[in-house]
Amino acid sequence: MKDIIVKGGYVYDPLSGVDGERMDIHLSAGKVVEEVPERDAKVIDAKGKTVMPGGVDIHSHIAGSKINLGRLLRPEDHRKDPVPRSKHTRGGVGYSCPSTFVTGYRYAQMGYTSVMEAAMPPIGARHVHEELNDTPIIDKAAFTLFGNNYFTLKYVREGDKEKLKAFMAWLLKVTKGYAVKIVNPGGVENWKWGRNVDGLDGNVEGFDVTPRQVVTMLAEANEELGLPHTIHLHCNNLGIPGNWETTVDTMDAVAGVKPTKGRKNTVHVVHCQFNALDGDSWMTLKSGASKVAKYVNAHPHVTLDMGQVIFTDTTTMTGDGPWQFRLHGLTGNKWVNSDVEMEAGAGVVPYTFKKNNPANAIQWGIGLEIALMVKDPWRVYMTTDHPNGGPFIYYPKVLAWLMSRKARTDTMLESNKAVMKKTSLAGNYREYTFNEVAIVTRAATAKVLGFKDKGHLGVGADADVSVYDVDPSKWRPSQYAEIERAFRLASYTIKGGEVVVKDGEVTSTPLGSTYWVKAETPPELEQELVKELEADFKKYYTVSFRNYPVEDAYLPTQRVVKAQGGVWK
């Protein structure tokens, strides 16, 4: 692999304290280095262009049973976006449920080099990893679902945090998962019986525990294990008017959890737009973003991502089966429900976010309000909850809205007047800088995930670099179309020291790595846990215990991240 010098660009590397300085980036053997001889290197002329680390998407749905349900349910989605073969790429289909190859290509074309699959059912982990292997270029990780797992609920009921920690470490190891994902805790378990939970203190049937207990104990166990990322939480009551109260209450429930060494945060609340609704019905719906942001600004233990709505046809899919059934009832659209034995569930419903729909217009405003009202960009990250709020290919449009008040105003003027009346977006004059864009799409997401070699361009970092054809010294917010154009198709994307995109076209398709977390458990406790698990597997599972773990062969380019070390009695 030839050395590379990215020469003379405006570099934005917030983790290294670099804010738009014109400088050179030197790459060798897949890493950022101090210097390489120019005579022996490939020189990329970045003069007048923006240079950032490769993008790191903290929350997306790109692999596994749920996205495949969406693919199967929506042939019309594929027909409108067929993707032909090229010299370097394979054919496929795109839009809201793109095929694996297209997913990798399109992320790379936008300058993204790492993407997190946000919801992996343990029993389906093999298939998730097969699809991640089939997704070219980008590095990946998958978040294992815990919040409605039989064993999680069992140990929470028993109040046995040590056994819960051992189970968490074991399940991350056997599924090759990276983080603890919680979706509507207790609600998905109740949905097996056709019911939901009523907020954070509802009863989880058959276990006599509450979502509050589940979230709190998982958060405590997560931090005591020293896992690199906090709990990754989809709150109860998603999509229900007035749910901002549940969201704030949930954040506050873990305010007293002691964070693991080296960080302040103990919970990441996902796609917060869907959980920042005020009002007591869809007729009285208004934004609750200011109330959520007020809490977040005052409490450093919380991080968020936006879940920004895009005005387009998309495919909603989530492990929150009760919400998806509710959405099916609201829209009359086709619906698929999936129950994952002993562990999780999911639902899929096609949906179109419309500018002339008052509720949709308010939702669009809420996502942007959250990003603009949370003062610290290191704690709020750009996502669309792909594909739920909209396909990830619209990230450049979201950046334009964040960076340009004119872009937001132009969209508001095209939308239902409810967005002006029921949100505060019209009066918000904040505009993101290039440095803040680098934070919310790269530096902060890598940091909160615990990736030491991602999200920055310091010596020793992975040689993942994005070059965009926009001159930040000349760009003005009124020119927001230029931002969309530049961030849609990178001039260069460099992955692991290899040029994979040039002038928006994919030029190489290497296989990225898959990250997973290994946490240590006292041997005697692990032995005791395994005996219990084996007995319950024989009683309840259709899969044998020995066939459950994902073998190393499913991760040909794995990168193991060790937890900091558990706190054990």
Q: Is 215:256 a contact under the CB 8 Å cutoff?
A: no
Predicted pLDDT of residue 198:
87
Q: What is the pLDDT of residues 209-236, one digit of tens each?
A: 999 999 999 999 999 999 999 999 999 9
Listed in sequence order, the residues at least 6 apart from 318 whose beta carbon sits closer than 8 Å to its beta carbon are 66, 119, 183, 234, 238, 324, 346, 347, 388
Rounded average pLDDT over 314-336: 93
Strands 465-468 and 50-53: antiparallel
pTM of the shown model: 0.97
Better-predicted residue by pLDDT, 443 or 340 = 443
Please check the confidence at residue 10 and state whether its pLDDT lies above 90: yes
Q: Work out the pLDDT band at 566, boundaries 50, 70, 90.
A: confident
Please check the confidence at residue 290 and state whether its pLDDT lies above 90: yes
Please check the confidence at residue 245 and state whether its pLDDT lies above 80: yes
Rounded average pLDDT over 20-27: 98
Q: Of 65-69, 175-179, 271-275, which gets the smallest average pLDDT?
A: 65-69
Mean pLDDT of the chain: 96
Domain ranges of the chain: 1-569
Q: Is 487 left (phi over 0), alpha (psi -120 to 50) or beta?
A: alpha
Predicted pLDDT of residue 217:
98
Predicted pLDDT of residue 393:
98
Q: Is 47:7 a contact under the CB 8 Å cutoff?
A: yes
Please check the confidence at residue 133 and state whether its pLDDT lies above 90: yes
Predicted pLDDT of residue 72:
93
CA–CA separation, 395 and 176 (whole Å): 28
Q: What is the pLDDT of residues 273-288, one digit of tens each?
A: 999 999 999 999 999 9
Fold exhibited by the domain 1-569: TIM Barrel (3.20.20)
Handedness of CA 493, 495, 499, 504 (dihedral sign): negative
Rounded average pLDDT over 431-442: 98
Predicted pLDDT of residue 279:
97
Q: Is 53:494 a contact under the CB 8 Å cutoff?
A: no
Please check the confidence at residue 569 and state whether its pLDDT lies above 90: no
Please check the confidence at residue 1 and state whether its pLDDT lies above 90: no
Predicted pLDDT of residue 338:
87
